[in-house]
Chain A
């Protein structure tokens, strides 16, 4: 693939970055294009296009990282960033190694979204709108959005690495509002991948119907229960539970600051033997997949839990160096304006052998969290919270009435250990993960899982 900056320019920039010393220097160049539109009140609106390019240069000396970023990719822009990053250093000039290009294979794209006529995109949104409104007379509002983004990146560093990636992501989202008398409920659904427009050639309109169905179902909802009980969590985005509970605590920066409950737990049993889990930045076309991470390290599959035992942390380059291990390809950044930090890619609980029906049938009184609106964890304490977007009561082994406004809350060490069934109905969903002020696309996945006991926070006391 073609690089955004050529090797000679990159070498010059790296040499300038090390002009006042530093044991490591890196230039990260990026060109991004985005296009999005939405439909609201059955009208196409918020049509927008963006194009940005720029570069970030960092120099590392001892424990400190010096970072500068600029807009623009002219050699002069890049040199300005290098000079700025080097400005606070006071050491002897160092020479970077000669660059050697390393080939990478970007996620394949069949139909470049930017080459698809915009009218097809608006037609798609109109179809979603019609299908959602056709799902029931009680659908009062519907909004949907289409977004495509392409990020071309080139990374070069003073250790001689020169690599790049070409990342295309396409995503649609749907949100329905249902109304009956004074009752108002919402339902949302998304579809996204590291793919081109081919993602939307199957039957994207079904997400509109799914969103509408969720909202309509909730019109019949009662208050959510409160208290500790068994919780069955749905597949796909249910994996956000693992992402928040455990994934963040495995990111090596939290470990190094001892701000994780998983400090000193490598090799220990943290879950039942029926549970294995992975972070995998190479899953074909998945939302969190890239060819390389944002430091040029090829992405990989990392088994983080094997038969309930904690087997790995997630590393970027600097944290890996500190532990004397190779990077796991988890050094990610939102853009050239950010420093890379350890981040998850696609994180999932591997399929088990339980059937969802059987794990529900075994619950006398419990809660069924089909999907979440999102969640949050404090990795240092392990305390987490999840907002349930679609949930039901389980009574005498059967799913009974829908519940509104439920939250799941707990501590990750206890909750992970309490997972006593993992389903065979595995699939992945898309998410946007925020950490340290940076948002990156991540995949989450699992089959149904059951947590033996967890606190459900509702309004029914």
Chain B
């Protein structure tokens, strides 16, 4: 047993001694670094190690949680006692119980040795290449606001009084930039990004080129006329919407009447062109792991298929409320957070049309390349949204002038029904969680500009 698993086991035992009838401990240790470059120089270099433990304690059907960074024997005992104390304050809930053990299948490919092998100087050079590529891509690229490179390697261990025990390691790595382009009296920004398990998997030139292309494409942008028209959502935008839909498919929101999908299981609410599943074991997905935040094996769950709403996502508690099984969808933001229902990796099925064919199918409309204000412009309970957007006009099936400072509005469920085509080229995107999606052609959406 590693020391991390030992800490988790000790915490479970200590919670029992403190009066808990059941307990679960989630411990993690993470090392990470971040490099920010600007103007050909390293602006900051961060090295970090952190570890902590979160303990969930039950007293009958009452649940409490405590976390901390002190992994000494006394520290762990204090955290466990804190969890039991917190449980005593909660109200009884007959469905609250820890999951029992289930066989956990190992999942390979979660770690890339290049995270450890690459020196700080090497990853700084990678970030500098991103910046140089963006600057060299087009004379109108006036600067790069910042290039950020980050990576981390994490070990997670879980243990419970119900017999759950597991441990895994994974690594993550990303780089992004915000390129600045100037022209026609205006300044535009463009995001480029890449995701991988380690720096060896990143393509710095492609990241820099993407930022430059997105920024320069917006030069001279104007407001579109207000109307309802076909829109093509770029994968970065489609991913944000998929993330919102994935959130609304969490059983917690559904059971508590706070989801536009409540009471709609089995309904044909999406067009046949749109299919969505959650896959906690997809090797390409950043959220993949052998088990979820409460030790339940990750799996694949079809959510929308053939236009029908097939399933919701469950953790153990929400599954107990319906007498069903968890879909392995208990998610945590590290040891500081209670597990809660959330999508792992969302995958929107790809269709037949490549980028050009998708634009041709749109005819006249708007290609949306960026949205802003999602956290304030979308009502997750009703699904009604109105968000800021920018992109390009589509005229006669081809990209035309850049457009900015307009909004797109509608509601999430109606939008699913209005998907006319899914593109053939999917991409993993870190917006809206971890999402793989192609571009989507929506039949009609309200565009509000001038």
B145-174 toward A: CB 8 Å interface, digit per residue (1/0)? Answer: 110000000000000000000000000000
Q: How far is the CA of A374 from the CA of B376 in the complex (A)?
A: 5
Knowing A48-B66, A461-B228, the reply to whether A455 touches B449 (Cβ < 8 A) is yes
Q: How many residues on chain A are close to B (CB under 8 Å)?
A: 77
Stretch at the interface among B181-189, B232-240, B416-424: B181-189
- A373: which of B45, B228, B377 is its contact (CB, 8 Å)? B377
Q: A461 — nearest CB in chain B belongs to which residue?
A: B226
Please give the distance in Å from B116's CB to the nearest CB on chain A: 16
* A97 CB within 8 Å of chain B: no
Max chain B CB contacts within 10 Å: which of A45, A119, A374?
A45
Interface residues in B232-260 (C-beta closer than 8 Å to A): 256-258, 260
Interface residues in A330-344 (C-beta closer than 8 Å to B): 337, 339
- B47: which of A37, A67, A71, A374 is its contact (CB, 8 Å)? A67
Knowing A63-B43, A337-B48, the reply to whether A177 touches B381 (Cβ < 8 A) is yes
Residues in A with CB closer than 8 Å to B330 are: none
* A2 CB within 8 Å of chain B: no
Q: How many residues on chain B are close to A (CB under 8 Å)?
A: 79
Residues in B with CB closer than 8 Å to A119 are: 89
- B405: which of A54, A65, A257, A410 is its contact (CB, 8 Å)? A410
Please give the distance in Å from A123's CB to the nearest CB on chain B: 11
Q: Are A457 and B89 in contact (CB under 8 A)?
A: no
Interface residues in A394-425 (C-beta closer than 8 Å to B): 404-407, 409-411
Please give the distance in Å from B341's CB to the nearest CB on chain A: 13
* A102 CB within 8 Å of chain B: no
- A376: which of B51, B83, B226, B376 is its contact (CB, 8 Å)? B376
Q: How far is the CA of A63 from the CA of B124 in the complex (A)?
A: 14
Q: Are B45 and A64 in contact (CB under 8 A)?
A: yes
Residues in A with CB closer than 8 Å to B145 are: 257, 259, 380
Q: Are A177 and B257 in contact (CB under 8 A)?
A: yes
Interface residues in A30-60 (C-beta closer than 8 Å to B): 37, 40-41, 43-54
Q: Are B70 and A51 in contact (CB under 8 A)?
A: yes
Q: Are A226 and B226 in contact (CB under 8 A)?
A: yes
Q: How far is the CA of A375 from the CA of B180 in the complex (A)?
A: 22
- A378: which of B42, B189, B385 is its contact (CB, 8 Å)? B189
Residues in A with CB closer than 8 Å to B258 are: 141, 177
Knowing A65-B43, A383-B388, A387-B373, the reply to whether A50 touches B336 (Cβ < 8 A) is yes
* A4 CB within 8 Å of chain B: no
B385-421 toward A: CB 8 Å interface, digit per residue (1/0)? Answer: 1111010000000000000111111100000000000
Max chain A CB contacts within 10 Å: which of B48, B50, B226, B336?
B48
Q: Are B382 and A47 in contact (CB under 8 A)?
A: no
- A179: which of B41, B91, B257, B410 is its contact (CB, 8 Å)? B257
* B102 CB within 8 Å of chain A: no
Q: Are A457 and B386 in contact (CB under 8 A)?
A: yes
Residues in A with CB closer than 8 Å to B42 are: 63-64
Max chain A CB contacts within 10 Å: which of B93, B336, B375, B379?
B379
Q: How far is the CA of A86 from the CA of B284 in the complex (A)?
A: 36
Q: Are A67 and B46 in contact (CB under 8 A)?
A: yes
Q: Are B66 and A50 in contact (CB under 8 A)?
A: yes
Q: How far is the CA of A376 from the CA of B46 in the complex (A)?
A: 27
Q: How far is the CA of A45 from the CA of B385 in the complex (A)?
A: 29
* A185 CB within 8 Å of chain B: yes
How many Cβ-Cβ contacts under 8 Å join chain A to chain B? 246
Residues in B with CB closer than 8 Å to A53 are: 69-70
Q: Are A406 and B256 in contact (CB under 8 A)?
A: no
Residues in B with CB closer than 8 Å to A228 are: 450
Residues in B with CB closer than 8 Å to A455 are: 223, 405-407, 448-450
Q: Are A376 and B373 in contact (CB under 8 A)?
A: yes
- B49: which of A48, A70, A141, A257 is its contact (CB, 8 Å)? A70
* B64 CB within 8 Å of chain A: yes
Q: Are A50 and B90 in contact (CB under 8 A)?
A: no
Residues in B with CB closer than 8 Å to A122 are: 89
Please give the distance in Å from B318's CB to the nearest CB on chain A: 13
* B428 CB within 8 Å of chain A: no
A140-160 toward B: CB 8 Å interface, digit per residue (1/0)? Answer: 110000000000000000000
Q: Are B43 and A461 in contact (CB under 8 A)?
A: no
- A383: which of B78, B386, B404 is its contact (CB, 8 Å)? B404
Interface residues in A139-195 (C-beta closer than 8 Å to B): 140-141, 177, 179, 184-186
Q: Are A184 and B382 in contact (CB under 8 A)?
A: yes
Q: Are A405 and B384 in contact (CB under 8 A)?
A: yes
Q: Are B143 and A44 in contact (CB under 8 A)?
A: no
Q: Are B66 and A67 in contact (CB under 8 A)?
A: no
Max chain B CB contacts within 10 Å: which of A41, A44, A68, A380?
A380
Q: Are B43 and A50 in contact (CB under 8 A)?
A: no
* A224 CB within 8 Å of chain B: yes
Residues in B with CB closer than 8 Å to A227 are: 226, 448, 450
Q: How far is the CA of A437 from the CA of B80 in the complex (A)?
A: 30
Max chain B CB contacts within 10 Å: which of A37, A122, A224, A383?
A383
Q: How far is the CA of A68 from the CA of B258 in the complex (A)?
A: 42
Max chain A CB contacts within 10 Å: which of B66, B86, B377?
B377
Q: Are A66 and B45 in contact (CB under 8 A)?
A: yes
Please give the distance in Å from B375's CB to the nearest CB on chain A: 6
Q: How far is the CA of A145 from the CA of B185 in the complex (A)?
A: 48
B364-387 toward A: CB 8 Å interface, digit per residue (1/0)? Answer: 000000001101111101101111
Residues in A with CB closer than 8 Å to B68 are: 50-52
Residues in A with CB closer than 8 Å to B260 are: 184
* B434 CB within 8 Å of chain A: no
Q: How far is the CA of A43 from the CA of B70 in the complex (A)?
A: 31
Residues in A with CB closer than 8 Å to B70 are: 51, 53, 72
Q: How far is the CA of A68 from the CA of B45 in the complex (A)?
A: 8
Q: A71 — nearest CB in chain B belongs to which residue?
A: B69
Q: Are B386 and A459 in contact (CB under 8 A)?
A: yes
Q: Are B43 and A49 in contact (CB under 8 A)?
A: no
Q: A45 — nearest CB in chain B belongs to which residue?
A: B90
Knowing A48-B64, A259-B180, A405-B384, the reply to whether A375 touches B376 (Cβ < 8 A) is yes
Q: How far is the CA of A67 from the CA of B43 in the complex (A)?
A: 11
Q: How far is the CA of A177 from the CA of B180 in the complex (A)?
A: 42
Knowing A50-B68, A383-B405, A461-B226, the reply to whether A71 touches B52 (Cβ < 8 A) is yes
CB-defined A-B contacts under 8 Å, sample of 21 = A48-B86, A49-B82, A51-B67, A52-B67, A64-B45, A65-B43, A67-B44, A67-B45, A68-B47, A70-B50, A71-B50, A71-B52, A337-B48, A380-B145, A380-B187, A383-B372, A387-B375, A407-B388, A409-B406, A457-B448, A458-B446
Taking A375-B373, A383-B390 as known contacts, 11 extra A-B pairs with beta carbons closer than 8 A to each other, sorted by chain A number, are A43-B93, A63-B42, A85-B47, A380-B145, A384-B388, A405-B384, A407-B388, A407-B407, A457-B388, A458-B409, A458-B448
User: Would you list the 7 A-B pairs with minimal beta carbon distance, nearest first?
Assistant: A457-B407, A385-B388, A387-B376, A374-B376, A385-B373, A226-B448, A387-B377
Binding site for A on B (CB under 8 A): 38, 41-52, 63-70, 78-79, 82-83, 85-87, 89-91, 93, 120, 142-143, 145-146, 178, 180, 186-189, 223, 226-228, 256-258, 260, 336, 338, 372-373, 375-379, 381-382, 384-388, 390, 404-410, 446, 448-450
